Every structure is written in C-alpha cells, then in structure tokens.
Amino acid sequence: MIDIACGAGRHAWVMASEFDWEVTGIDLSETLLNRASKGFQDNNINDPAIGLNDSTPVKIRDINNSPGFIRADMRQLPVESNLFGMATNLFTSFGYFDSDDDNLCVLKEMARVLIPGGMLIFDHMNLAWTLDNLVEEDTIYSEGIQVSQHRYFDKISRRLKKDISIKPVKGETRKVQESVRIYKFEEMEQLLTSAGFKTELVVGDYTGANYNPKTSKRMIICAKVEH
C-alpha cells in the first residue's frame, strides 16, 4: 500500500506494524521524511486547522518489514502504474494546490498507481462541522517560543487558512501561512469520478459512524479505482 502525504510516517508505521503490510510513504517535506525514516516517534494526533489533539498512545510492535519513504510531489508519483492494492490520504492531506486541476491531478496519480479494483481511503475534514467548531485564535508557548495562530475561511477561494506568527526569545518574528482547499462531499465525489474512482462508502468519523454533511467531524471516503 501507499500512504500519500505521509508526513512523519505516523500512519505508515502503524499500518506496517499492525497488519504487516508493505508500506511506501510519499511526502514532499525532507524534514518530515527524515523523521519518518528514523521510526515511529510521535504518538499524538494533531489537527492544526481546528486545534484538536488526541494524545491516545499507539503501541508499535517489532516488525521486519519497515516502511519505505520517497520524497516526491504528489502530482507526479515516481512509482510504476498498477503497483499498489491500496492508497491512503489521511488527516486532510489534500487540497494544498491553488488549482482544482492540480488537486484532480493528485487523484489521477492515486488511481494510476493502484491495481484495477484497488482502494483509496480518503480522509478529509467535513466543511460544515469544521467551520462551526473553528478555533479562530490561539497562542501556545514551547521552549520559550511564542506561536500565535489565526484561522479563517476564505469563501471566495473556498480555502481554510491559518496565519502563523512565530516569535523566538531572540531574533525576528517569522510569519507563515497554511492554506488548504476544503471540498464538500458532492465536489469530492465529482473529482473522484473524474479521476477514475467509484465511491463505495463514506463515513463521518474514525469510529465509522454514518456521514452527515452538517454534523460529521470528518468526511472519510472509501473509493475503488475503475480501470
């Protein structure tokens, strides 16, 4: 299986450990991939968009088949076609690009690398619940560094944005912005269809509860590639 936008490898290591799957993680961040290659370290789930944390520990047993990690742009995966039985895109790791065409390209690449009938597990924040529970402002302190965050939804671009101000004890304050396109279910289903997928199931949270477009925390779609 392939974990696209794997970050520091948290899910890749769990899947390799719990199920003995052969896992390949793909990400663009060299820093995160360096962490991923060293093994499972971070037990915390952290959703920076809405300020949610889950400190539930995950037990990792010894494994012989460790995940492999590749640095790449998700719009052009450096792997063969029809290679994987499953792809995952977890914890809102989609919608980074300004263009819907580029985001569609990501889905087409996911379909390309899957075998016929292969499954995609696509995990995205649910728009209505996210906006209702948006943490607009917060400030955290870590090792003397002040991190202030301002979150807002741009209705024109349909993007959730987070302006971050990082103020160290010494030196200049650094400002960065995170931005992700948030899709409604109907929009995502259309994109998936255009990419060659057929939606098989959609659930509203990590327990598998029924999806409700107004009240569900997540939009988790299981889709099968048709090629």
The CB density around residue 51, as the number of other CB atoms within 10 Å, is: 17
Range from 58-62, 154-158, 209-213 carrying the lowest mean pLDDT: 58-62
pLDDT at 128 exceeding the cut of 90: yes
- Distance between CA atoms of residues 40 and 62, nearest Å: 11
Query: Residue 74 sits in a domain of what CATH number?
Result: 3.40.50.150
Yes or no: say if 74 and 26 are a contact pair by the CB < 8 Å rule.
yes
Structure tokens at 165: 């101000």
Q: What digits encode the pLDDT tens for the residues 155-211? A: 999 999 999 999 998 889 999 999 999 999 999 999 999 999 999 999 999 999 999
59 and 89 within one domain: yes
User: Could you tell me the pLDDT band of residue 45, with boundaries at 50, 70 and 90?
Assistant: very low
33-47, 72-86, 135-149: the lowest-pLDDT one = 33-47
In a shared domain, residues 101 and 208:
yes
Task: Indicate if 93 and 188 belong to the same structural domain.
Answer: yes
Are 17 and 116 contained in the same domain?
yes
Least confident of 36-50, 51-65, 76-90: 51-65
Residue 8: which H helix or E strand, with range? Answer: none
Residues 69 and 147 in one domain: no
Which tokens belong to 147? 């991190």
CATH of the domain at 160: 2.20.130
Number of domains present in the structure of the chain: 2
- With a cut of 70, say whether residue 116 has pLDDT above it: yes
209, 123: one domain: yes
Q: Are 28 and 48 in contact (CB under 8 A)?
A: no
Does residue 34 sit in the same domain as residue 109?
yes
* Percentage of the chain lying above the pLDDT 70 cut: 89
Q: Is 163 exposed, middle or buried (0-12, 13-18, 19+ CB in 10 A)?
A: middle
Q: Which domain holds residue 42?
A: 2-127+183-225
Tell me how far apart the alpha carbons of residues 179 and 181 are, in angstroms, rounded to a whole number.
7
